[in-house]
Amino acid sequence: MDYEFTIIVPLYNEEENLIRVEQELKKYQEKALKKTCILLVNDGSTDNSLAMVEEIAQRNDSFKYISFTENRGLSAAIKAGFDYADTPLIGYIDSDLQTDPEDFNLLMEHIGDYDLVTGVRTDRKDSFTKNMSSWVANVIRRSFTHDGMDDTGCPLKVIKADYAKRIPMFKGLHRFLPAMIMLQNGKVKQVPVRHYPRIAGKAKYHLWNRLAGPFIDCFAYLWMKKNYINYKVGKKG
């Protein structure tokens, strides 16, 4: 089928969430503004996630999956999704479903004029520690990237595929998607989206990797910004 939009769902040890992921994304497909398929990316889970992913893909033609041989992290899972998606538009949502798939339609309303549209979580349903560490991490990142984004950690984004596939790979990539689009002279926009508490599974990030990781990764971004190759072809024959 000629799909127009691929939703990437990275997952690591999320067996408690996967049936709900299947149900909620199937509901969204019925309301989606673009013909939508789902790409589940299993990041080397050690629980029953892979078996469940295989079953979900077997009973849903519009669900596909790839599975890493070992855990490589969220950035690697997102990058693999970019590499394997074959639609003009690519989206991303976390398997904990703390954001609502239906809000992809809010982002879709703006993607024609922009190259990346990202959600901004309103009225966040996380703990004080998690909210505060995310706020500090965003302040650190903005001071390095000057991307103007308030919530790059929001796991709800839509990106034009030709931009997504040109993003170079490095650890911590998921924190810098708007900045990486801007390095390509792309246009980015943020849109408020809903946020819910996690109701199953365990969070994979804690205070240390929410603060130390973004700070260290900012230096990788500065190196990449200095050395990034960007070009446009004017003519070819």
Query: Which pTM value belongs to this model?
Result: 0.81
Say what the pLDDT of residue 236 is: 82
Say what the pLDDT of residue 218 is: 73
**pLDDT, mean of each 10-residue run, the chain (237 residues):** 94 96 98 98 97 97 97 93 97 94 97 95 63 61 66 88 89 82 92 83 56 68 72 76
Q: Where do the domains of the chain lie, and which CATH numbers do they carry? A: 5-227 (3.90.550.10)
> Tokens standing for 82?
């970019």
Say what the pLDDT of residue 103 is: 96
